[in-house]
Every structure is written in structure tokens, then in C-alpha cells.
Structure 1
């Protein structure tokens, strides 16, 4: 089933977690399997202290972090790309070892895999986070609550999601730049953003037919769920030159996405619709059997890109990071080109991984 980020609540184990942290902080941690985040370069001289603002105020990082835990669902990729390996990551998509996707394996190299944390609706695993002795907790791509922020801040400095925009909506550019500041490598983060943006813009330049064409990202989650303009999946379509449906932002409101009513199925009648699905063949049949969707030109003319959510490609499409984006673009662009070529007979081929 398609997994959406969810708002979570504190567990009943908060008190014991803080006791555990107190005991853990007394040890050096040097004997642990994850004794420190691996570094691919020193922080800039004078980079610390640095203060980062977020939804719950401001957090000051006094020195270069060595033991980083990522509570944000995709924060680990920017950390890896900037030369460090988190001691803990939060699982979201793909059930990858260490919560490290295949697109990030080169950045990980032969360094130890992070400990994987799970948030199944009960909030961050406070005890487990405390046991990892973090000196920085990143929660940029997250829906961290104020209570969760306060609790985690008793363990280590926490950088939460931005105050502007809905939860789980920070752009990958801002996410990367904020993490770059937190790690003392802002220049490297800026170069990483520029390099990734160029990969996307080069793909767009190679396909001028994308410019001005309509497109939307969706999933058959509890009906028909569309991703809004403030979601990174939609932002990728825009960066490739596509135009999102008029009225999409109004329908989604102050969220990264929303289920649409039967009356707004028209939002899907674009030049191309990218579906993130559980089973492409079965879900296509179900979608086309829907009388409201099946009669739309986008469905009748085969202008759909159906991506299996559990595939590596499907995970990358939702991850949207400086490491996953080149992987996504190289696979998504040919499928989009086939969808908008104006020839209904063209088969839209989607990579299996």
C-alpha cells in the first residue's frame, strides 16, 4: 500500500527514554559500531556556532556534529552527499538496509550502515535515538510536533521543519542548504544543489515539448490522491517544464496533497499523469474501470506513466533528494516523453527498477 508521511504522536516511553539518555551520555560511545559519522571533509573554519530557524524557533549548533540522527524521512541523503554518514536514519520507503536507497550507495561507500529507526504513527523512537548518543537530530522533511521537538531537544539540538508551508513540504534545495549549514559545509551544499538542478534543467532542455504541457502526480490512495504545488514530486514536474493543473493548489489547500472529489477528476485530464501505484497492471484496470476517470482523454489516449511504488524507481520518485533526483530523472523523462508525443499508439515504458 502506498505510504504517506503521517502526523505522529509521542510514545508513553518518553520518560524512560530521557533516563536512558542520561545514562548513555556518561559513556564515550567509542566502542559502538557507529562510533562517529564518517566525514568526507572538514567543516569550514568559522562555520560554528551556527543558528538555524525552523517551525519551533531557532536551534544553535555549537560545534561540528559527529553523531547525526535523521528523523526527517529523506534527510539522510543530503548528509551522505555532504560527506557524513548518520548514526541513525528513519525508514520510510523501500525497506532498504540502513534506510539508504540504491541511489545513495556510492555516497555511503564501505562505511557502516546507520541504525534504522521506525515511525509507525507513534512518533520518533525516543529511547533508540537517545541510545545512539546523537549530537544533532535533523527533522527537516518531517511532521514533527512541538511536544516531540521539545522531547528530542533534551537529547541533542534539533533542526525541525520550516515554519512556512505544510509539514513534509520543504523543498529539496532548502533541505540540502539547511543541512549544509548544520554540518558546516554551506558552500558544498550550494554546489550540490546547483549540480542537481543542472541535471534536471539539461533534461528539460533536451525535451522542449515538456514546456507548457500539463502534468500531475497522483496515487490511487483511498480514491484518487493528487500531490499539490508544495510537494517535491510536483516541483520536479514543474522543473522539467510542465504546468500543473489550474486550481490544483486550491483543491489541495495547506497540505502537500489531498484526495479529490468526484467533481474534480478533471484535474487528472492533463497531457500526462504520473501514477504511483501498488501494481501497475491491476491498478491501471481499476482506474480505467472508473467511469469518471476512464473517459478522460489522458486515460483513453494512454498518456499515463504508472510507476510501481515498491520498486527502486518508485521509491526514488517519492524521495526527492540531491542523490535520488538524477536517478529519478534518467528514468522518468523517457516515459514522460513517450506520454506527450501526441501519438496514442506509443507505449509508455516504465523501468522496473
Structure 2
């Protein structure tokens, strides 16, 4: 999910936008001494009493002066936390699935009677600044993103921007912090904490029901441009660690400072864990191709039937990739039985694929 710096052709547009929308500005520029610790100010019982609120992030601090009403999500999964907290964004950024408003089926009911959000795209050049400006936002969320500092500064000229937390890799914010930071930005901190607690209870129940998960090792991968393995800060890997699994010891050393990376066949040992979860384009041809690699097929995880296969297209695979406060309960209902079968040595090809 690479992001490039903002093209210079937007500078003229931004100058005109500033004249129209500068009153909406409530955010500071870069502050190299800032941290990602969260809100500064009162812990109110109502949204109205929460503001102004100042939040730290990768590029400094952003102050939100009043309760946001027109929210645009640049972060590819940020919309779910907004919806869970009772707000409907005016704009979302498309990533997976082609859903109405870029809102998955696990969250569609949160739209209520509101119009679906306008859907923005990111083709590799960064956020669509012109279209975002046209939506007249009073808050732009970019927590699950690879927003650059130049893009942050550009967007900050016409609305407060909450960028990704400083403490994590790009696209590495945990769903818990994502939800709670957005809750603070919307004046709903207590409600956000309650939502997080409810989902964490579901993880705890799964761990209790499946004690074999504790101490077992697991890895998640996909055949994207080779063999792509997700690191410990990726949302998909966090599902496994949240269920009690341990990730490969050398995983982040090999992957580096990113959410994941391709590995060579010399490092296929990273795949030879108690469980290997594969996100695949299909469950027939892709599995056959995977097992056609003699080096991979000779691993114990294959020979002992401890693989899990998830089709990347469709609701289930999309929910795994998003891994939000709303999609995770949907994921756990489907993934936990597959993981339990794999730990027992019954590969996912022998377990009925969950309905999408």
C-alpha cells in the first residue's frame, strides 16, 4: 500500500480552498517532540463537553475545536470506528470489496437512514485532495494509513487531520487504539472504550474455549508478488496474537519496519509454524499452486495438515483484512473454528469454508 507525495499541481487548488475553509482549521503542524499518547484535556461524559480536544500523532498535534459533523476517512479502515460510534462519514476511502459507501456488510446497519458516504480512491498518489475539499469536512481521519508529512500538511490547510500514531508502523495501528483515538476525536471516549472492551471479551472467550492456542505459533501470509508475510504490527497478525498465538521469533527482523514483506524461499522457515493462515485469491487453483512448490510442500505445517485458507475476495476475507471493531466479531465467528481444526492437524481443506 505505498503512498507517494502530493503532486505540485494541487497547490493552486489548496490556496483557494484555504480562503473558503480556513475557519475550520484547528490543527498544529509538525512537532518532533510529540508522542501518540492521546487526548489532552477533560474526560467528559458528553460529546459537547469533550471539546476542544488535542490529540498527538506522527506529525505533531491536532486540536479539534468542536464536535465534528462532516468527517472524511482517509484511513482505509477508519470508517468502521466512526460508524460504531454513531456517526456516518460524508466520505470514505475505498480499499476492498466495492461496498456501498465503502462500508462492509458487518457495518451497513450503522448507516441507518443516512445517505451512503461518498467514496474516494487512492491510486498510489495519495488522498484525493480536490474531492475531499469538495466534501467540506470538519475532520479528516487518517489513522490506518501511510499518510506522508507533505500530504498531512496539505490536508491540514482546510480541516483538522488526525494522522497515524507515531508509535506504530504505517498501517500498523492496533484496532483498539484506532477506535479509542477516533472516540476521543468525536467526543465519545467512554463509548469507544466500551466498544473495545466488548470485542476484547470475544477474544478472551475464544482463548478460554481453545487453550491449545496459547503458546502455539502462527503466521499469516498471502501469495502477493511472491510470498508475502505479515509482520507483528499488521492488523491480520494482531488477530492471531489476540487469540493467544505467538508469532515467529524472527518475523520482524526479516520484515523490517513495515507491516509486511515478501520473503525468499530461504526463509520459508517462517511459514513452518503450528498454524499457517493463507489469504488466497481462491481455494482451488491457488491452493494447488501453493502445494506445487516442493520447498513449501515439504514443510511440517503442510504435511501435518495445519494450514488455514481464507479466500481474500468476499466478505470474510475483506473482514480479515480490515480487522476493525465492527468486522472482528464477524471474523472470529469464522476463523476460530478453522484455527481450532488446524491446531488439531485437520487442514482447512477438510473443514467447510465459512460462508462469506
User: Equivalents in 1 of 2:169, 2:347: separation in Å?
Assistant: 37
Which SS does the other structure have where 1:72 is aligned?
coil
Question: 1:125 corresponds to which residue?
Answer: 128
Q: Deviations over 1:98-121 (max 9, x none)?
A: 000011112222221000000010
Residue in structure 1 matching 2:315, options 312, 315, 340: 312
Give the TM-score of the pair, scaled to structure 2: 0.90
Q: Deviations over 1:188-236 (max 9, x none)?
A: 0110110111111111211112111111110011111111111111111
User: Equivalents in 2 of 1:352, 1:323: separation in Å?
Assistant: 18
Which SS does the other structure have where 1:103 is aligned?
coil
Question: 2:283 corresponds to which residue?
Answer: 280
User: Equivalents in 2 of 1:17, 1:155: separation in Å?
Assistant: 11
Question: 1:69 corresponds to which residue?
Answer: 72
How much has 1:68 moved relative to structure 2? 0.3
Aligned residue pairs, count? 336
Structure 1, unmatched stretches of 5+, are 27-41
What is the root-mean-square deviation in Å for CA atoms of aligned residues? 2.0
1:181-330 aligned at under 5 Å gives the runs: 181-330=184-333
User: Equivalents in 2 of 1:346, 1:304: separation in Å?
Assistant: 8
Moved over 6 A (4+): none
Q: Deviations over 1:47-68 (max 9, x none)?
A: 0000001111000001101100
Does structure 1 residue 47 correspond to structure 2 residue 53?
Answer: no
Residue in structure 2 matching 1:147, options 146, 150, 157: 150
Question: 2:343 corresponds to which residue?
Answer: 340
Question: 1:97 corresponds to which residue?
Answer: 100
Contact persistence 2:232–2:238 (CA under 8 A) = yes
Structure 2, unmatched stretches of 5+, are 23-44
How much has 1:301 moved relative to structure 2? 2.6
- Relative to 1, partners in 2 of residues 1:74 and 1:271: Cα closer, same or farther, differing over 3 Å? same
Residue in structure 2 matching 1:177, options 175, 180, 189: 180
Contact persistence 2:183–2:189 (CA under 8 A) = yes
Contact persistence 1:149–1:160 (CA under 8 A) = yes
Which SS does the other structure have where 1:190 is aligned?
helix
Does structure 1 residue 21 correspond to structure 2 residue 17?
Answer: yes
- Relative to 1, partners in 2 of residues 1:150 and 1:228: Cα closer, same or farther, differing over 3 Å? same
Give the TM-score of the pair, scaled to structure 1: 0.91
Contact persistence 2:309–2:349 (CA under 8 A) = no
Contact persistence 2:309–2:348 (CA under 8 A) = no
- Relative to 1, partners in 2 of residues 1:182 and 1:286: Cα closer, same or farther, differing over 3 Å? same
Contact persistence 2:47–2:186 (CA under 8 A) = no
Contact persistence 2:307–2:348 (CA under 8 A) = no
User: Equivalents in 2 of 1:268, 1:242: separation in Å?
Assistant: 14
User: Equivalents in 1 of 2:90, 2:70: separation in Å?
Assistant: 6
Question: 2:40 corresponds to which residue?
Answer: none
User: Equivalents in 1 of 2:122, 2:346: separation in Å?
Assistant: 44
